[in-house]
Every structure is written in C-alpha cells, then in structure tokens.
Amino acid sequence: MFVMATWGLNIVSVKYLTLHMDVQALAAVRIVIAFITVTLIIKARRGRIPRLGGAELGWVALAGFLVVYAHQMALVTGLRVSSAANGTLIMATSPLLSALLAAIFYREKLTLVRISGALLGLLGVGMVVVGSGARIGLTGWGDAIVFVAVLVFVCGGLVIQRMSRSMDPLGMLWYMYLAGGLMLVVHAALTPASYQGDTWQMTWWPWLVLLFSAVIASGVSNIVWNAGIARLGISRAALFVNWLPIFGLLFAALFLDEHVTLTHVAGLACVLAGTWLGLRRGAPVAGRNAAAKT
C-alpha cells in the first residue's frame, strides 16, 4: 500500500515537473538518481552487487527495457494524446492482464474469485474516474499506446517473478535501473529538447520534488514492489495497482483542489473488496506454484 501511495503522489509530482523540464530529460534524470539511491542502499546494508552470468544479464536487461525504459516512454507518449480518464482506466487493467499472462506463462490457476476480484477493482476505478467529472471518450492511438505501457509493465513483472527465484530484490533492481537508465540517457542525449536551458535552470522547489520522485517513488518504492512480486507473484501483487488511481485522485484533491464525492467512496469500497478477494488465503500463491512446477 505504501508503494501505491507514493506512486499516486508521484503522478502529481511528475505532472508538475513536466512544466519545468523536458520529458525525456526528466525521465533520464529520475532513473539516474534512483539508480544512485539503490546503490547507496545496497552499500548501507553492507551488501555487494551480485555477479551475473550471461543468461541472467539477458533477463535483467529485458526487465530493464520493459519496466524502466519502454513503460515510461510509452506512458508519457500515450498520455500526451489520451485523456487522463482513459489513461487511468487503461492502467487499471493491469490486474486482469497479470492474471491472464501468469496463467499462460506460469500455469497459475485462473480462479473465478481472482477474476472477480480484478473486475470488481476495475469497476471501482471506473466509478472513481466518472465521479471525478472526467469525460471518457475514445482518443485512438493515445489509448493504444497507454495500453502498450501497461502491457510492457506487466510483462516486466513476469520477468521479475522469474528472476526473483535466484536474485534478491535489491540486486535485481540495481541491474534493471542500470540497463533501463542507460537506454533513457541515450534517448535523452539524442533528443535536442533535452538541451534547452529552461530544463536545467529550475528553482529549488522543483528540484526537491524531483528528488522525492526519484529517491522515494522510483528508488525505495520499486525495491518494495519487487519484493512484493517475489513473495506474492505478479498476478496477486498487481491487484494493488487498483489503488494507484485512487491515491492519485486523493492527492489531486489535496494539492489541486478537486472534490471527493460519494461516488469516489463507493468506488473505493469496490477497490477494497476486489483487493480482498484477490488476496484471500484460499487463492494460490503465485511464486510458490511457479517454483513447484520447475
């Protein structure tokens, strides 16, 4: 829940930062700072960066490409065209996609309770978006690109689940940020807008917001998220993603003076019920099932 709260606040933070920095430069700087944060945490715990073989390096590079580079690039590009309401609803399809892909690739049991929980959570998110007064319409390619962003994030979670059998979350995240960060830095370096003077001449407050976004939302929270995937499996961990738009709207109400209505409360109840259904003790634990079949 901590992860979803920080990610929800991070939506507001990144939206604010796009007014001060080029998007490509912002993405690259955030991940570089997050990479430094993870490195310092590893050193503070007197840990060592694990050495990986060729196959393991290939997997972490794939995870870095999907979760760090491709997800951020597709999400930013899609939301430039798609509406915020559509983007929120599309992002809320993550639990359903996770359950389906985990059933395909890890032979997890796709129970009626699990699907019902994901659908109930999606209904709750839809109620929250409608209750916010947002108008939902089709925006074509923008919606499709946002869906790609969700899809690559879920696929990256499947890779993380596989990697978690032999790597700890800290070492895994370090290599992911190294690979994905290098891709983002190269992309930013090849983008002329990244060199605009206004991007680097910010006052102290935007830099402070940037540090929160990079250190807490991208660094610490992703360590917790990877640990959650390792323990619960991607299909169960993804149920918490239903909380992301809830926290996003709550922080928007707090910082942007938007109103919370009874429809929001009803939607929140659906999200709570959907999460509870998906995390019931009777539901199979993804990581254990996957490990037992290998």
Other CB atoms within 10 A of residue 104 CB: 11
- Distance between CA atoms of residues 202 and 87, nearest Å: 29
Residue in the structure block whose two tokens are 């660094």: 219
- Distance between CA atoms of residues 269 and 130, nearest Å: 15
Q: List pLDDT tens digits, range 158-170.
A: 888 788 777 777 7
Whether 288 shows a pLDDT value over 60: the answer reads: no
- Distance between CA atoms of residues 124 and 258, nearest Å: 18
> Looking at per-residue confidence, does 219 or 279 come out higher?
219
Helices (H), the chain: 2-17, 23-44, 54-63, 71-81, 84-91, 94-105, 112-131, 141-163, 169-189, 197-200, 204-211, 221-232, 234-237, 243-256, 262-278, 286-292
- Distance between CA atoms of residues 111 and 97, nearest Å: 14
pLDDT at site 285:
41
> Looking at per-residue confidence, does 271 or 171 come out higher?
171
pLDDT at site 83:
57
Average pLDDT in the 26-31 region?
Answer: 88
pLDDT at site 64:
92
- Give me the phi and psi of 45, to 5 degrees please: -90, 10
pLDDT at site 198:
67
Q: For residue 282, give the 3-state DSSP assignment.
A: coil
Q: List pLDDT tens digits, range 104-130.
A: 777 666 677 767 777 776 777 667 666
Q: List pLDDT tens digits, range 70-84.
A: 988 887 777 666 655
Other CB atoms within 10 A of residue 36 CB: 15
- Distance between CA atoms of residues 163 and 230, nearest Å: 9
Whether 154 shows a pLDDT value over 50: the answer reads: yes
